[in-house]
Amino acid sequence: MGKFQIPSGVNGDGDVSRLVALARRISADADKVDAYLRENNLPQPGFEVDAPGDFPSLPADVQQSRQQIVHDALELGRLARGPRETVRWGVWNYLDTLSIQIINSFGIANMVPIEQPILLSELQTKSALRLIAHTAASRLLAEDKALQDWAGFVSEDVFPAGANVLKSLRSYPEATSLTTTGFNFAFNTVNEEPMFVTFGKDPVRAKRMAGAMASLTGGEGYEVSHFVDNYDLSDVDNAGGTLVDIGGSHGFVSVDLAKKWKNMTFVVQDLPKTVESAPKPISDDASITQRVQLQAHDFFHEQPVKGADVYYFRWIIHNYSTPYAINIIKNLIPALKPGARIIINDHCLREPGSEKPWDEKVIRGMDLIMLTLLNAQERDEEQFKELFRAAHEGFVFKGVSRSPGCRMSVVEAVWDPKPEEWDSQGSELRSPFSGIKTPAPSLQYF
C-alpha cells in the first residue's frame, strides 16, 4: 500500500509514492498548459492586479490538463498535511467564505485604487477594516457586479443556510418541503414560506440573486451556446413549430434559439412580475421579437399552451423535491399532443469517479446547494426516468446527452400515450408562489 503506478504521461521509472507521482503529473500538466499559452501568445495566469480575470478558451486536451492540475494540487495538499490536519483545518474552510463576505459586504475592494496600493491610514478613513493593494481576484470583485452579487448571495444567503442544514434534517428528515430547509431555519421562516417567496418580498436580495445566477450561468460549462449549438430542432423549425420555455425568465435562451431557427415560434413563461420586467422589445431584431412571446404562467398550474412541439425546462426541475417535480411534469399532460418533447436542461449525476474531477466537485456541490436552499436535488439518469414514469405511463424516456465541455445535460422524454390514457389530466399542488405581492424573482433560479 502507499504505492501506485505512475499515471500515463508522467515520466519516471517503476513505482513511486503517490506524493511524488502527483507532483510529477502536476509539473507535466503545467508544462503542457504553459506551452500552449506561450505558443499562442496568450496571457499567463497570475496574482498581479493586471492578470487576466479568466483563463482563455483551451483545446479539450489542454483544458483536461488544466482541470487535472486543480484536482491533483488539492490531493497533493491533503497528502502533505496528513489525515488529521486535513480534517482539523478542512472544517475551517468557511473562514475563506467569511473573509470574502466581509470584503464584499463592506465594499472594501471598491475603496482600493486599481492601479496602485493605498496607505492603511488612508483606507481607515474610508473603512474600519484594512486592505493594502489589489490582487487580480480583488480587482474583479471591485469591477464585476455579477461576481459581487455571486459573492453576496453565496456568503449572505447560502452560507447561513448551510450552517442550518443539520438542524433541518434532524427536525424534518424526509427533506421534501420547501419550507423546512436550512434556508428556512437560518432566516426564521420554517413552515411559513419558501425561499422563493422570501426573495419575492425583498427586491434587493432578489436582484442580487438574479445577478449571482447570471454570473454562474455565464461561466465555464454553463454557456447557453451548448444547448443552442448542439440540440437539433430542425424538424420543428421546418414545420414552423413551437417551443415553450417554461420558467424562462426574460427569454435569453429562446432569443438565442430564434437567431438560429428562423421559422419556429417561442413562448417564454415565468411569473407575472418577471414577465413585466423583461426588456421591451425582447430583442433588437424585429424578426425575433415577432416570434418570441412572453407569457405569465406558474408551472404549478395546468399548462396553457396546447399542442406545442417542445416544452423546455432549464435550471427548473432541480429546484424541487420529487413530489413537486412530478407535479410540474403532470401539469403538462393536458396540453400535450402525441410526439411532443419534454426537455430538461439540468445537471445529470454520473457514476462517482466518471466525471472530470473539477466538474464532479461543482455538480455534486450544486446538489448540496439544492438541499440547503430548497430540499431539492440534482438527479441521475434513473431518477429522471422515474420522474416521468411517476408522472404518467404515457411518457417515453429517450435518454440523456451532454455536449463536450458542458456541465449541463439534456434529458428528454416524448409523450406517446396509449388510447385509453387520453383522458389523463394534470395534478396541481398549491403553488409556492401564491400570495407574492411584491416583485417576484424568476422561476429560473439556478
Q: What distance in Å separates the CA atoms of residue 129 and residue 140, rounded to the nearest whole number?
A: 19
Taking CA 59 as the corner, what is the angle to CA 55 and CA 61, rounded to the nearest 5 degrees? 110
Distance of CA 224 to the CA centre of its chain: 12
Indicate if the pLDDT at residue 415 is higher than 80.
Answer: yes
- Quick one: CA dihedral 204, 206, 209, 214, positive or negative? negative
Indicate if the pLDDT at residue 8 is higher than 70.
Answer: no
Q: Half-sphere exposure of residue 244, counting CA atoms within 13 Å on the CB side?
A: 22
Ranges 102-106, 156-160, 261-265, most confident:
261-265
Give catalytic residue positions.
Answer: 318
Indicate if the pLDDT at residue 57 is higher than 80.
Answer: yes
The per-residue pLDDT for 339 is 98
Determine the average pLDDT of the residues in 15-22.
90
The per-residue pLDDT for 127 is 58
The per-residue pLDDT for 378 is 97
Taking a C-beta distance cutoff of 8 angstroms, is the pair 363, 407 a contact? yes
The per-residue pLDDT for 440 is 45
The per-residue pLDDT for 215 is 81
Report residue 443 as a C-alpha cell. 422561476
The per-residue pLDDT for 290 is 97
| Residue ranges of domains in the chain, CATH in brackets | 3-88 (no CATH), 93-142 (no CATH), 144-446 (3.40.50.150)
Determine the average pLDDT of the residues in 437-443.
47
The per-residue pLDDT for 92 is 66
The per-residue pLDDT for 293 is 97
325 contact partners, CB below 8 Å, separation of at least 6: 317, 387
Q: How confident is the model at residue 421 (pLDDT cuts 50, 70, 90)?
A: low
Pick the range with the lowest mean pLDDT from 24-33, 343-352, 401-410, 427-436: 427-436
With H, G, I as helix, E, B as strand and everything else as coil, classify residue 257: helix
The per-residue pLDDT for 48 is 79
pLDDT tens digits along 72-107: 999 998 898 887 777 777 766 876 777 777 777 778
Q: How confident is the model at residue 444 (pLDDT cuts 50, 70, 90)?
A: low
Q: Which residue has the higher pLDDT, 13 or 21?
A: 21
Determine the average pLDDT of the residues in 198-202.
91
Indicate if the pLDDT at residue 178 is higher than 70.
Answer: yes
Average pLDDT, the chain: 86
Percentage of the chain exceeding pLDDT 90: 59
Q: Which residue has the higher pLDDT, 399 or 133?
A: 399
Pick the range with the lowest mean pLDDT from 181-190, 208-217, 241-250, 419-428: 419-428
Select from 371, 372, 375, 413 the least CA-distant residue to 394.
413
Q: Which residue has the higher pLDDT, 436 or 289?
A: 289
The per-residue pLDDT for 151 is 85
Whole-structure pTM value: 0.77
pLDDT tens digits along 356-381: 888 888 899 899 999 999 999 999 99
Taking a C-beta distance cutoff of 8 angstroms, is the pair 284, 345 a contact? no
Taking a C-beta distance cutoff of 8 angstroms, is the pair 395, 342 a contact? yes
Indicate if the pLDDT at residue 9 is higher than 60.
Answer: no
The per-residue pLDDT for 84 is 78
Determine the average pLDDT of the residues in 45-64.
86
Q: Which residue has the higher pLDDT, 52 or 302?
A: 302
Q: Which residue has the higher pLDDT, 329 or 49?
A: 329
> Residue 112: exposed, middle, or buried by beta-carbon count in 10 A (0-12, 13-18, 19+)?
buried
Indicate if the pLDDT at residue 437 is higher than 60.
Answer: no
Q: What distance in Å separates the CA atoms of residue 222 and residue 68, rounded to the nearest whole number?
A: 19
Indicate if the pLDDT at residue 446 is higher than 60.
Answer: no
The per-residue pLDDT for 97 is 76
The per-residue pLDDT for 265 is 98
Indicate if the pLDDT at residue 346 is higher than 80.
Answer: yes
- Quick one: CA dihedral 350, 356, 360, 362, positive or negative? negative
Q: What distance in Å separates the CA atoms of residue 201 and residue 298, rounded to the nearest whole number?
A: 17
Q: What distance in Å separates the CA atoms of residue 180 and residue 173, rounded to the nearest whole number?
A: 10
Q: How confident is the model at residue 131 (pLDDT cuts 50, 70, 90)?
A: very low
Q: What distance in Å separates the CA atoms of residue 440 and residue 446, rounded to the nearest whole number?
A: 15
